[in-house]
Amino acid sequence: MTSPRPAPVPVPRDALPAAVLWDMDGTLVDTEPYWIAAEHELVDAHGGTWTHEDAMSLVGNPLLTSAQILRERGGVDLPVEEIVQFLIGRVIDQVRVKVPWQPGARELLASLREAGVPCALVTMSYRELAEPVAALAPADAFQVLVCGDEVERGKPDPEPYLLAAERLGVDVTRCVAIEDSPAGIASALASGAATLGVEAVVPVRPAPGLSRTPSLEHVDLGLLARLVADEVVDLMPVSL
């Protein structure tokens, strides 16, 4: 019989981040398979070829960037705006059936809400997709949404994370950003936020100042306090 998990040690509010800034696709919810299926459907309909490597190269990109790649590499003969709307529509259809929360995501959101730590959703998905996902999170989990159709420069530019901190009225360097993709991690690090990379669809490579975890199930308030105190934590298993 396994012993019960010890109760978490209370963390003083002033030791916690001023806010937690969450990426959505891949980090909070496992929607990347939905995007990839939509890409394959669209490319197939236009007689093109789309590989697993092609799909992986789009993870975390602004949607207009991904749409241009689908035109050039996948042979999709549509305006980029139409490609984006097709992809979003397909993913929204799937989200209405099921929101695939990443393990530990809802529990961490609830802990942050109970501790009084505000959260922002910082995503390159458009608001029409982000709002339904945020609405199904624990009540009052997100105070701010920053979406891909609301920024001039998407990830890997730091603008989305800087805007989220501005809207929350907090210092971005007192925030923790949680990300899964290379573009998102680059955006978060460039903003000055303490950055935690969660390995989901693509590998999270080591980088200066980047903390890493294989799952949100390993993340609690104590770990977030360590990150905002400038500690770099690597929970990835060591390869033999």
Is 14 known to be catalytic?
A: no
Q: Are 172 and 161 in contact (CB under 8 A)?
A: yes
Report DSSP letters for 39-102, one per residue.
Answer: HHHHHHHTT----HHHHHHTTT--HHHHHHHHHHHH---S-HHHHHHHHHHHHHHHHHH---BP
Catalytic residue check, 25: yes
Catalytic choice (14, 23, 44, 77)? 23
CA atoms lying within 13 Å on the CB side of residue 193: 35
Of 25, 30, 54, 180, the catalytic one is 25
Write out the catalytic residue numbers: 23, 25
